[in-house]
Amino acid sequence: MGLTDAIFNHPRLGYYGEYGGAFIPEILRTTLDELTQVFEDARRDSSFWTEFEQVMRTYSCRPTPITLLENLSREVGGAQIYLKREDLNHTGAHKVNNVMGQGLLVRRMGKSRVIAETGAGQHGVATATMAARLGLECTIYMGAVDVERQRPNVFWMEQLGAEVVPVTDGSATLKDAINESLRDWAYSMADTHYVLGTACGPHPFPQIVAYFQRIIGEESRQQLLDSVGRLPDRVYACVGGGSNATGLFLGFLDDAAVELVGVEAGGRGLETGDHASRLAGLVGTPGVAQGYKTFFFQDAEGQMRHTHSVAAGLDYIGVSPILAHLAEIGRVRIEAATDQEVIEALKRMMRSEGIIGALESTHALAGALREVGAMTPDQVVLIGLSGRGDKDIFTIADALADENWQRFLADKAARS
């Protein structure tokens, strides 16, 4: 059985090697079973993927292009660097792939309301967009810390008709928004679907998210074959929960010669303990939380530790069980990039290529920039740019200490 096949046809239901499962209160059992069944039926229905592709083509600019970063490749002087442009999706990130896909499942289930967690806000915006388009009620749970640092996304979610609920429990970030979503769902499941945003959580979520996000990898593979005539030597993706990395890697999983590199959030450095890495440097350990078994950033007694990243979307304790498995068997190599490296990489790509990446996605670029100089010009690397950076204007302007921007904010605040 190939690696891809094992992800979609589990040797042990809900498991990827030792990781995954469905560790959930019994109250949610029937709902998850129903979801599993609806998803099984959908993916065995030959028209379903066609319908999904049609939606993505007409609503979200798919297929997104790959872009050769000619200037950056020349400056670095190593491999040819290609970027998979998920930032050009409607709503500005890869999140919409999974969300529109789950929207089709919601329609099949006939539910009238969706809920979702969000970290950076991209998944929340995508879900609010889908809900508006399909005429569904929508509630988004978002850590109060993230509400503060991603205010523009909160604004858009509300304009799109969603209710945004700030979550103040725990560390008031993504993990706490997931807990709150699970609590809502335990009460509302009769008419509500939980649109989980990443390839984590209880089965069947990792599988569903991987199924829709694999469109990134499948397109990329074909596009490189068409334009370069060969497969990449390496593929880089940032890893938070892992939906974009899983989706991109799935295009190349069974191409043994393609090296797959996931880049986690190194925050202020792995040695400081102030980061959001789990697999890199083996700083995480196996555990069970939020419905699934994977590597978590936790203490010796199994309590989750506080994570830190400049990128809200990577600021999370767990990682997709699919990636935990692929890392364990050596198919995916995991690195970490620090906040500082990410800011530098972001500036470099803006100046050299005129592309503003999301802070999350720029982790992949930062990881790649460390390594491609040692490669040769006949080699090819592909980097997943999972989202665009305009949403990060406040955070990036802070990190760059841009005086004009700070003056603008002060003036604006003074006037209102």
Partner 1 sequence: MNLQAYIEERLAERKVLLMTHLIAGFPSLEANWRMLEIMAEAEVDLVELQMPFSEPIADGPTFARANQQALESGLTLDQYFDLMQRATAAFAFPHLMMGYYNTAFRLGHGPFCRRLAACGACGFILPDLPVEEYGDLWAAGAECGQTPILLMTPTNTDQRLQQIGAQAKGFVYAVARKGVTGRQTDLDDELYRFIARCRAATDLPLGIGFGLRSGEDLRQLQGQAEIGIVGSVLLEVWEREGEAGYAALVRDLAAGRD
**18 CB burial (10 A radius; 0-12, 13-18, 19+):** middle
Q: Which is nearer to partner 1, 170 or 269 (CB)?
A: 170
Binding mask 160-179 for partner 1 (x = CB under 8 A): ---------xx----x---x
Tokens (6 digits) for 296: 């978590």
Q: What is the CA radius of gyration of the chain?
A: 20
3-state helix, strand, coil in the chain (%, to 5): 50, 20, 30
Binding mask 277-306 for partner 1 (x = CB under 8 A): --------xxxxxxx-x----x-xxxxx--
126, 93 contact by CB (below 8 A)? yes
Binding mask 75-114 for partner 1 (x = CB under 8 A): ----------------------------------------
Residue 4's contacts (CB-CB under 8 Å, 6 or more residues apart) are 250, 253, 254
Q: Which is nearer to partner 1, 189 or 237 (CB)?
A: 189
Q: Please give the positions annotated as active site.
A: 95, 117, 386
Q: What counts of helices (H) and strands (E) characterise the chain? A: 16, 14
Name residues contacting partner 1, limited to 178-237 (CB under 8 A). 179, 182-183, 186-187, 189
The CB-of-387 to partner 1 minimum distance in angstroms stands at 26
The CB-of-197 to partner 1 minimum distance in angstroms stands at 16
Q: Which is nearer to partner 1, 300 or 414 (CB)?
A: 300
The CB-of-271 to partner 1 minimum distance in angstroms stands at 23
- 24 near partner 1 (CB under 8 A): yes
Specify the pairing of strand 19-20 against strand 15-16. Answer: antiparallel
Compute how many residues bind partner 1; rule: CB under 8 A. 35
260, 399 contact by CB (below 8 A)? no
Q: Which is nearer to partner 1, 301 or 378 (CB)?
A: 301
User: 6, 10, 17, 23: which one contacts partner 1 (CB under 8 A)?
Assistant: 23
Residue 410's contacts (CB-CB under 8 Å, 6 or more residues apart) are none
DSSP result, 39-82? HHHHHHSHHHHHHHHHHHHHHS-PSPPEEE-HHHHHHHTSSEEE
Residue 106's contacts (CB-CB under 8 Å, 6 or more residues apart) are 114, 134, 136, 193, 195
Integer distance in angstroms from the first to the last C-alpha of the chain? 62
- 119 near partner 1 (CB under 8 A): no
Name residues contacting partner 1, limited to 309-348 (CB under 8 A). 317
Q: Which is nearer to partner 1, 50 or 285 (CB)?
A: 285
The CB-of-175 to partner 1 minimum distance in angstroms stands at 7
Q: Which is nearer to partner 1, 78 or 201 (CB)?
A: 201
Question: What's the chain's length in residues?
Answer: 416
The label of the residue with tokens 């990243």 reads: 309
The CB-of-188 to partner 1 minimum distance in angstroms stands at 8
The CB-of-212 to partner 1 minimum distance in angstroms stands at 24
The CB-of-287 to partner 1 minimum distance in angstroms stands at 5
Q: Which is nearer to partner 1, 115 or 182 (CB)?
A: 182
Tokens (6 digits) for 227: 């334009």
Name residues contacting partner 1, limited to 26-55 (CB under 8 A). 26-31
Q: Which residues bind partner 1 (CB under 8 A)?
A: 21-31, 169-170, 175, 179, 182-183, 186-187, 189, 285-291, 293, 298, 300-304, 317
